[in-house]
Amino acid sequence: MATFITLLNFTQKGVENIKGGPTRLDQAKKMFRSKGAELKEFFLVMGQYDAVVITEEPDDSTAAGLRLAIGSLGNVSTETMRAFTEKEYRDIVAELP
C-alpha cells in the first residue's frame, strides 16, 4: 500500500455546511474502504490549509479516483502528495548508483 498526504481546504459550500463535516468524514472513510484503501488519520489544522488527511491506498489510480469523487461533492479542494515511509526512503537510497 502507498501512503498519501492530502491537504484540504474547505470551499464556501463546505464552510456553510460545516456541521455536516463529521458525517461527510465518516462517508469518506467508507468510500476509502470500498476501494481497498484506508483513511488513517484526519487532522483539523490552522494555517494555510484547513485539514490534513493521511491515507494508505493500493495505487495512484485509486488515489486519483478517490480525490476526484470527494472533490466533486464540492465541500473541499485537495492537494495530494505521495509520501514514502522511512523504509521506502532507505530502499530508494540503497538503489542509487
Domain carrying residue 24 = 2-94
Tell me the pTM: 0.91
How far is the C-alpha of 73 from the C-alpha of 41, rounded, in Å?
A: 21
| CATH, residue 79 | 3.30.70.920
Calpha distance 82→10 (Å, rounded): 21
Domain count, the chain: 1
Average pLDDT, the chain: 97
Q: State the Cα angle at 23 between 14 and 16, rounded to 5°.
A: 20
Query: What percentage of the chain reaches a pLDDT higher than 70?
Result: 100
10-residue stretch averages of pLDDT, the chain, 97 residues long = 97 96 97 98 98 97 96 96 96 97
